[in-house]
Structure 1
Amino acid sequence: MTPEHIVKKFFEEVRSGKNPDYATELMADQVLAHQVISEEEITVVRTPKDYAEHVKEMIDAYGDFSLEIQEFIVQDQKVYVRWKQAGTHVGEVDGYQPTNLPVIEIASAIYRIENEKIVEYWIQIDRAGIENQLKRNTNN
């Protein structure tokens, strides 16, 4: 499988929430996850099981969300993806109680593929935008 195919399958099956446990097929046993938060970069090690749990937590928080890929660029073993996720705030998020109002996440990541598995990624999420939506929804 090409890097393009692996990342597309990852978004179609795992990241979409359709089949989070399929992460075991597409991710290495340990994946370096570089999370860029403002000017600070944190690197955590994720396993496919951890990632599947993370997606399930998103489903608990935002229900059956939609996921739209807005940009998809392949360069050798790296794949850049920018997406828009839209869900409904149905579970507690960062201390905010459910409002049943829409929440949109804009994010992007670069995935590095090795031996037909995702082995590393760098992700940026508009966390301030999500926080602003949660605050606004709570105050309405």
Structure 2
Amino acid sequence: MATTRTNKELFRRVFDALNDRDFDAFADTHADDVVLHDHDEEFHGVEAVTEHEQALYEAFPDMKYTPKVILAEDDRVAARWTATGTHEGELEGIPPTGTEVEFPASGVLRVEDGKITEVWLTYDQLGMLQQLGVVESPGE
């Protein structure tokens, strides 16, 4: 069984790979049959998970993840981070706005044999959509 430190380092490698736009390194941190739970969507397999992440970078080419906290126990790793980026490409049917966004996110990973096998991801979707101007903030 991997150590807590090793599992925390695995999450750091994910952040580094994404911030470097190194999707091969990102894929190498995941098991072939990884499952990503992203709010109400599920993605099965390392190719689907990698493509999902690449689509985000097409919409936000300068996307950056800044880890705030990484905790680990046994086969689970949890993290909280801030995501920032400029909306320069289509995002799920939303045309580019040129708007810079910043929103909090968090995730929990399950690690097996040094690879990520399952991910539960949450982030402030509403806040991001409000920043993009496609959803009104209360009181506007």
Report the TM-score range of the alignment, normalised by the length of the smaller protein: 0.7 to 0.9
Native 8 Å contact 2:84 2:100 kept in 1: yes
5 Å-filtered alignment, 1:81-92, equals 81-92=79-90
Deviation for aligned residue 1:78: 0.9
Task: Letter of the 1:112 partner, please give it.
Answer: R
Q: Which residue of 2 aligns with 1:10?
A: 14
Residue 120 of structure 2 is aligned with which of 104, 108, 122? 122
Structure 1 residue 17: deviation in Å?
5.0
TM-score (norm 1): 0.82
State the secondary structure of the residue aligned to 2:118: strand
Distance 1:47 1:67 in 2: 22
Task: Give the match for residue 135 of structure 1.
Answer: 133
Compared with structure 1, are the counterparts of its residues 17 and 130 closer, same or farther at alpha carbon in structure 2 (3 Å cutoff)? farther
Aligned-residue CA RMSD in angstroms? 2.0
What do residues 1-46 of structure 1 show as CA deviations (whole Å, max 9, x unaligned)? Answer: 6211211111111x3352012233211111122233xxxxx46243
Q: Check 1:133–1:43 CA distance in 2 against 1; reply closer, same or farther (3 A cut).
A: closer
**Runs (5+) with no aligned partner, structure 1:** 37-41
**Which residues in structure 2 correspond to 1:1-140 (within 5 Å)?**
2-13=6-17, 15-16=18-19, 18-36=21-39, 42=40, 44-135=42-133
Q: Distance in 2 between matches of 1:32 and 1:50?
A: 9
- What are structure 2's unaligned runs of at least 5 residues? 136-140
Q: What is the identity percentage for the equivalent residue pairs of Structure 1 and Structure 2?
A: 27
How far residue 129 of structure 1 moved from its aligned partner, in angstroms, is: 0.8
Deviation digits for residues 103-122 of structure 1 (CA, Å, limit 9, x no counterpart): 22321001110011000111
TM superposition score normalised by structure 2: 0.82
Partner Cα separation in structure 1 for residue 41 and residue 129 of structure 2? 22
What is the CA–CA distance in structure 1 between the aligned matches of 2:109 and 2:14, rounded to whole Å?
Answer: 10
Q: CA deviation at 1:136?
A: 5.9
Secondary structure of the corresponding residue to residue 104 of structure 1: strand
Q: Which amino acid aligns with 1:120?
A: E
Alpha-carbon separation, structure 2, partners of 1:115 and 1:92: 37
Residues 85, 102 of structure 2: 8 Å contact kept: yes
